[in-house]
Structure 1
Amino acid sequence: MQFPKSLFFTLMISSVLFAQTEKTVIHQSMLWTRYYNILNLNEKWSIHSEIENRIFTDPIKESSIDVRFQGRYKLNEFLEMGAGLAYFVNPTDIPNTNDKFYIGDYRLQQDIILKQNIGSYGISNRLQLDERWIENSNKQGLTSGTTLNLRLRYRFQVDHVFWKKEAKYFKGIIYDEIMFNIDHNVVYNTFDQNRIYIAGQMGFNKSLSLELGYMKAFQQRPNGYEYLDRDIIRITFYQKLNL
């Protein structure tokens, strides 16, 4: 009895497709340290700038260095808008590789935030759009040109003031943020990632505060079948200045 060729090719193609779509979850531990500056120009306008260093902790290896600048405008006590630019330098997203090159990620970003206070609780909703120009690369290094990626982000956040005395305070923060790639070039990962964050923030005076938090990030990589499951400790030093 002769084995049908059509059935043979069907089984072969099915096995290849199954192998390509099998999910792989990569667990990572990271430390993010950030300096965030707020320069208040007046009651309505402010300039926000930040620099953040992200490293893997097992093994210890650089993940990215991020710089952001944006202008913000308060329409009223409930609504504010912002727009700015950012530059990310990304050596790798997998720490145990031997990549020796850096991928640039140039961004424009716009957002709108709706805020509301209920007693000692603050509730905010942020909708943000990222326009990302990412340098093209392969396994050997950078190639010519960039690829535009559009990403839509939504964040729901609640904070609560546990203690306050004059300018000093301590508050808790929790939020969930989900991100989607909405550009037509995206094939496999329309869902980009979800971030759950919980933190405590201590204010020392009107200008300085320190925040320590834990983030759980789950991200789908562009190939569609690999996922990054990240445990992240984030430390942020805030400074507010009045012009």
Structure 2
Amino acid sequence: MKFIHTLFLFLTCCFLQAQTEKNIDHQSLLWTRYYNILTLNNKWSLHSEFDNRIFLNPVEQNLFVLRMHSRYKINNDWDIGAGVAYFSVATQVPEQTFHFDIPEYRIQQDISWKQNLGKVTLSNRFQIEERFFHNANKAGLLSGTTFVWRFRYRLQADYNFWKKENQYLKAILYDELMVNGGENIVKNTFDQNRIYVALQYGINKNITLELGYLNSFQQRANGVDFFNRDIIRFTFFHKITL
């Protein structure tokens, strides 16, 4: 595991160093998300999320996400998941808007491992995505889709400030690296790197609130232009147990 962490940090530093002389577009966004966890039994759960993302300057719709996946708990430390997602993309540049949205369909699989170290919990997630982009140009949607792979690795640390019965307060910090793959990827094998810091407050056993800041540094398809996005993210977690 130390080797994986070292490799991850090395790749991230290499990518960031290579990006220093690129064309960078700075953007500010607000992400709001409702995340539902339906616990079926002590092994299986169904996760659903509705995520709306908007630009702040100027105010424009970025995209809307609907995602569902099931999770299986292998033991207290390991779990796996698989599911699907639908993205409706209005625009990636707020100064350039269209009269139509571009759909994207995803299939995803992941495996997660966590380790408790006192008040700190370390977790690793490896995720694979099969992405299908609906073909489009500036005039409208075209027939067919374009397929690409994306591979994601996230290293996360949670620090528990306090916990009392069903209430708690903790801090979250993670770094996630995403890499593209497939014959349609020519100049942007590196997709993006995300750094996230947040506070999560558990109100009771069913309701949790999270507010955080996320920085996304993303390479565009031409390999020359990049997005540097400052994102405020608010999440409403809702747990239901059958």
User: Normalization by structure 2: what TM-score?
Assistant: 0.90
Match of 1:224 in 2: 223
**Is the counterpart of residue 27 in structure 1 residue 26 in structure 2?**
yes
Match of 1:9 in 2: none
Match of 1:17 in 2: none
- Alpha carbons 2:91, 2:97 under 8 Å: kept: no
* Secondary structure class of the residue paired with 1:188: coil
Match of 2:214 in 1: 215
Match of 1:175 in 2: 174
Match of 2:143 in 1: 144
Q: Deviations over 1:76-107 (max 9, x none)?
A: 01100000000000011000013222110000
> What residue identity is the alignment partner of 2:165?
E
Q: Deviations over 1:148-199 (max 9, x none)?
A: 1110000000001101111111000000001000112100100000000000
- Alpha carbons 2:90, 2:97 under 8 Å: kept: no
Q: Deviations over 1:114-170 (max 9, x none)?
A: 111111111100000010110111122211110011100000000011011111110
Instruction: Supply the distance in 1 between the matched residues of 2:126 and 2:87 (Cα, whole angstroms).
Output: 21
Shift of 1:48: 0.4
**Is the counterpart of residue 234 in structure 1 residue 221 in structure 2?**
no
Of the structure 1 ranges 186-195 and 138-147, higher mean CA displacement relative to structure 2 is found in 138-147
Instruction: Supply the distance in 2 between the matched residues of 1:101 and 1:150 (Cα, whole angstroms).
Output: 25
Match of 2:161 in 1: 162
> What residue identity is the alignment partner of 2:59?
I
Instruction: Supply the distance in 2 between the matched residues of 1:98 and 1:152 (Cα, whole angstroms).
Output: 29
Instruction: Supply the distance in 2 between the matched residues of 1:49 and 1:37 (Cα, whole angstroms).
Output: 5
* Secondary structure class of the residue paired with 1:227: strand
Shift of 1:23: 2.7
Match of 2:88 in 1: 89
Match of 1:116 in 2: 115
Instruction: Supply the distance in 1 between the matched residues of 2:100 and 2:186 (Cα, whole angstroms).
Output: 25
> What residue identity is the alignment partner of 1:98?
T
* Secondary structure class of the residue paired with 2:75: coil
Instruction: Supply the distance in 1 between the matched residues of 2:57 and 2:157 (Cα, whole angstroms).
Output: 31
Runs of 4+ residues over 2 Å off in structure 1: none
Match of 2:183 in 1: 184
**Is the counterpart of residue 100 in structure 1 residue 112 in structure 2?**
no
Match of 1:51 in 2: 50
CA RMSD of superposed structures (Å): 0.8
* Secondary structure class of the residue paired with 1:117: strand
Instruction: Supply the distance in 2 between the matched residues of 1:77 and 1:162 (Cα, whole angstroms).
Output: 22
Shift of 1:224: 1.1
Match of 1:61 in 2: 60
Instruction: Supply the distance in 1 between the matched residues of 2:180 and 2:55 (Cα, whole angstroms).
Output: 25
- Alpha carbons 2:106, 2:129 under 8 Å: kept: yes
> What residue identity is the alignment partner of 2:111?
I
> What residue identity is the alignment partner of 2:88?
V
Tell me the matched-pair count: 222
Q: Unaligned stretches of 5+ in structure 1?
A: 1-21
Shift of 1:219: 0.2
Instruction: Supply the distance in 1 between the matched residues of 2:155 and 2:129 (Cα, whole angstroms).
Output: 17
> What residue identity is the alignment partner of 1:111?
D
Aligned residues: percent identity?
55
Instruction: Supply the distance in 2 between the matched residues of 1:73 and 1:212 (Cα, whole angstroms).
Output: 27
Match of 2:16 in 1: none
Instruction: Supply the distance in 1 between the matched residues of 2:230 and 2:97 (Cα, whole angstroms).
Output: 22
Q: Unaligned stretches of 5+ in structure 2?
A: 1-20
